[in-house]
Amino acid sequence: MAFKPRFWLGISLFNLFLVALLGSLMRYKIGFEFPHFNQKYIQYAHSHFAFAGWISHTIYTLLIHYLTRKTDALVLKPYERLLTINLICSYGMLVSFFIYGYSLSSILLSSCTIVVACFFAYYFLKDLRKTDENKCDNNWFRASLWFNIISSAGTLYLAYIMASRNFNENWYLAAVYFYLHFQYNGFFLFSCFGLALNALKDRYPQFPYSKNMFTLFFISAIPAYFLSVLWANIPLWLYLIVIVAAIVQLFGWLKVLGYLKQVKVKVSAPDKLSLYVFLFVILAFTIKLFLQLGSTIPIIAKLAFGFRPIVIAYLHLVLLAIITVFLLVYSYVQNLLHRNVLSALGFVFFLSGVFFNEVVLAVQGIASFSYFIVPHVNETLFIVALLLSMGTLLLFLSQVKKQSDRASLTP
């Protein structure tokens, strides 16, 4: 039985819509008087479901699809079971966190997703050996799955803090940033790099890939975690290593851009939207690395970590403008999502929402430096959240409509 990536990605898009819907609810509660539901619980549900139900589920699906193209000796049943279990846990966390916050049920379900990650890594790494791809190419996938497992240490410690009520703010923040760093700078980023570079090599055999690209990002990934905890007064020797890590990542990315410039891209008219979206991701990632390097300056780090809008803007830059947009456009280019007017419109709405979200959050954050309150900023962010929700809904409906059209043509 063949793997059906469009089916699983259709679920991904529905999950993304739910994530956007929760974001809209949070923005509505901030901008208007709406006493129902617990804002903190909605935030927990929003973040955990975004990571497990949207990004992790989508990456798992795309990695399985990658394997199916590289080897015929693939047993699909374990992967499909893991995808199903991960989805059950994700929906369970969505409901549990929304109603109870951190509770026994939400902690158990969160722990189950870690077990799924371990089993997925076991099966995938075993099957990766069956491919005839260059080992250097597949190192991105190996590293990404190991980072996924490593990040679980932060989740487990957070669960311990919440269950034991033994709260220490510094350790709590360190655990949160540990999980976030090894998810978005580890699991998410390395998976996306692996998918993108292999797709480039498939389409443009002349792409001048170098294993140094992987080496530069890998050796800097672990020390780069301490960029997130510069507020903890780390020792000077570690601070210097952090600066070097930030420089190495930027240098590695500049090498990637240099390689991309050497590729002569021929784009047909239907693919122009995809090219513009990829350029959007490239620009966002470049900004992310420069901001990361800038945060090594103590006064900038103090300002950044001291104002919540700046932190939220940075997280959204990574998770929305880079990871989410890349996963969508990669699926689109690989013909894993149906191309029609609704999907194109959904992309436009979603990208507009991502762009305006970053602009408004950046303005709010910069204004916070002088303690200036931007008028109607919460209402504006709510409208932007609705724009994101509309974009994800259109993307989901574009896939459902295509399936229904095909079903109606079947005799």
Whether 365 has a pLDDT exceeding 80, the answer reads no
Between residues 38 and 373, the one the model is more confident about: 38
DSSP, residue by residue, 254-305:
HHHHHHHHTS-----GGGHHHHHHHHHHHHHHHHHHHHHHHTTSHHHHHHHH
Mean pLDDT to the nearest integer, 356-364:
87
Mean pLDDT to the nearest integer, 312-336:
91
Give the C-alpha distances (Å, rounded to integers) separating 271 from 98, 155, 226, 277.
40, 40, 39, 10
The pLDDT of residue 340:
86
- One-letter identity of residue 302: K
Q: What is the pLDDT of residues 109-123, one digit of tens each?
A: 988 999 999 999 999
Q: What is the pLDDT of residues 233-264, one digit of tens each?
A: 788 888 899 899 999 999 888 888 887 777 76
Whether 304 has a pLDDT exceeding 80, the answer reads no
**36/45 Cα distance (integer angstroms):** 15
The pLDDT of residue 45:
93
**206/209 Cα distance (integer angstroms):** 9
Q: What is the pLDDT of residues 377-392, one digit of tens each?
A: 888 999 999 999 999 9
CA 225 to chain centre: 17
What does the buried/exposed string (b/e) look like for 249-288 if buried means 16 or more CB atoms within 10 Å of the residue's CB?
bbebbeebeeeeeeeeeeeeeeeebbeebbebbbebbeeb
DSSP, residue by residue, 122-136:
HHHHHHHTTS-S-HH
Q: What is the pLDDT of residues 212-230, one digit of tens each?
A: 788 889 999 999 888 888 7
Whether 410 has a pLDDT exceeding 50, the answer reads no
Per-residue tokens: 127: 């099957």
Per the CB < 8 A criterion, the answer to whether 106 and 162 are in contact is no
Percent of residues, the chain, with pLDDT higher than 70: 90
Q: What is the pLDDT of residues 125-171, one digit of tens each?
A: 998 887 766 666 788 999 999 999 999 888 888 777 777 777 777 78
Q: What is the pTM of this model?
A: 0.91
Whether 87 has a pLDDT exceeding 90, the answer reads yes
